[in-house]
Amino acid sequence: MAGALDIRAVLAALPHRYPMLLVDRVEEIVPDQSIRAIKAVTINEPFFQGHFPGRPIMPGVLIVEALAQAAGVLAIESLGLAGSGKLVYFMAIDGAKFRTPVEPGCLLTLEAEFVQKRATVCKFVGRASIDGKLAAEANFTAMIADPPQG
């Protein structure tokens, strides 16, 4: 069953909050398969103050983080863990490539698909695009775990 998720559902799936929450909405999620989410990139992002003055560009590592967060929503929703407190931790990033700069004012489309899904470890392929033009891509692995005790 495919569907969309609003920001409340995203917040229920992810522990991230401003300024680290990089998924604004989910346009389509197909549990156990794929997700398409959106990050509205605005000049108000704190990283634009220093990256780079006079030519603001979203850092590549944050584009990959946005892809990983979208994949985290896919994993949490697919495994029925929303609201459980379980966290999705990055384990590995492979083959990251950056094709075009991501600048303020664009809508960054985040697409991730399962490559492998297990109860505690998932592998994904992710692509970020602007108006259908590939901006970045990466393969990554994540672990589903309990939050640290503290």
Active site residues: 51
How many whole angstroms from its chain centre is CA 48?
A: 19
The token pair that represents 147 in the structure block: 């939050």
Residue type, 140: F
**Is residue 49 classed exposed, middle or buried when 0-12, 13-18 and 19+ CB atoms within 10 A define those classes?**
exposed
- Residues linked to residue 122 through DSSP beta bridges, in sequence order: 117, 142
Give the C-alpha separation, 21 to 38, whole Å.
Answer: 12
Give the C-alpha separation, 66 to 24, whole Å.
Answer: 10
Question: Using the 8-state DSSP alphabet, how is residue 147 labeled?
Answer: P
Give the containing element (helix H, strand E) for 76.
helix 60-78
